[in-house]
Amino acid sequence: MRRLRTLAAAFVGAAPLAAQAQDTLPAGIWTNTEDTYFAEEEGRARPEAILVEVGEDGRWRPIDAFGAPKGEWQRGTVPGLAPRAGGAGWQIAGSEIRRAQPFTCWVSVRKFAAKPDGTPDWTFAGGLASFDQGGRVAIPGQGVAPDISIRLRNVTWAKGSRNKPSLVLYVHKDDPERAESYAWASPDARLVGINLRWMQGSCSAADTPPPSGEAAAAGLVDAGARWKALYEAGDWDALRRLYADDAVLMTQGTPKLTGADAIIAHLRRVRDAGGSATIDFAPEEARAEGGHGFVTARYAMAITFPGKPPVSVAGRSMLVYKWKGGQWLLWRDIDNLAPDATAAR
């Protein structure tokens, strides 16, 4: 029993703040591209495509994959909007939507005719705005080069796939679905590029200023809700994407862990050993200053192994987030056990 209590205490430090009620999406572009892409492979009906742009003032409008509006700005809640089960993000009409990271791209395409000296001649288009949740950009050849388009996805593969999540840049000619070629990068990469000899280009993540005030607090709460749901589900790849690469975990009774991969390996131990864990949080403070967010919370955690009673611990966590790539990433995590800390379920 003492060993189980020690093990429970070693795990509580990485659990962020749970969600508070929200009825509006944070500003940005939201799509269900990843939910639709492998739906049929997973035995689900393919949902209708959803692409929504939300303004800083809370108004929203439908858009297409090229970012062009398909309707007027509207006020009020997006029809069908609801939190995902466990508070891990959002859905519209039951289909998961994800907030896109803006990117800025450039593309150069070899012209049909060479220069007078016989060397290849190229077009160039720069400052092309796109986003990583199915965003597309058309690059017309104007009769002197092939008409092409590019597409960006932050791919999450079908359930059961061994492929790792990836940021993917696709190049299309005549077929908008089947790509001529594509290039992969890490899902948190700030740059992805491709060179096919007849075309070349790259896309860089656009700098998005960190939110402040109530918007920052809401974003920190949402980040914590996603953490809780993904941890309890054992979705380690998705959980890894919520951490900064240089994250540090300092939890009571355990040596300091440095690096997101080391932290995930630590968090897996209960489930890999056949156990399960549930976490509850009671927020005490969530605020941001510049590019960092700060959260304090009371926690309660229960770890259960088959044939044994649950072991519970309670305490407080201090979490520091870093704003990167348009989202709050967990960067520093400290916790302690506290006799006055209990979290209501």
On average, the pLDDT of the chain sits at 88
Q: How far is CA 109 from CA 15, 67, 173, 204, 247, in A?
A: 48, 22, 12, 18, 40
Residue type, 199: M
More confident of the two residues 23 and 2: 23
Interatomic CA distance for residues 31 and 92, integer angstroms? 10
Interatomic CA distance for residues 100 and 342, integer angstroms? 36
pLDDT in tens, 144-163: 999 999 999 999 988 888 88
What's the pTM value of the predicted model, to 2 decimals? Answer: 0.66
Q: How far is CA 148 from CA 37, 86, 102, 173, 309, in A?
A: 22, 41, 21, 5, 61
Of the ranges 5-14, 29-38, 45-54, which one carries the lowest mean pLDDT score?
Answer: 5-14
pLDDT in tens, 199-221: 999 999 987 788 888 888 888 98
Radius of gyration of the chain (CA): 23
133 HSE (CA, 13 A, CB side): 24
Q: Is the pLDDT reported for residue 4 higher than 50?
A: no
- Which ranges in the chain are annotated with CATH 3.10.450.50? 2-21+211-337
- According to DSSP, the β-strands at 181-185 and 133-139 are unpaired
Query: Is 121 in contact with 115 (CB distance < 8 Å)?
Result: yes
Average confidence (pLDDT) over 119-147 = 96
pLDDT at 252: 84
* Reported CATH class of domain 2-21+211-337: alpha beta
pLDDT at 120: 94
The residue behind tokens 């009020």 is 76
pLDDT at 23: 63
pLDDT in tens, 300-329: 889 999 999 999 889 999 999 999 877 899
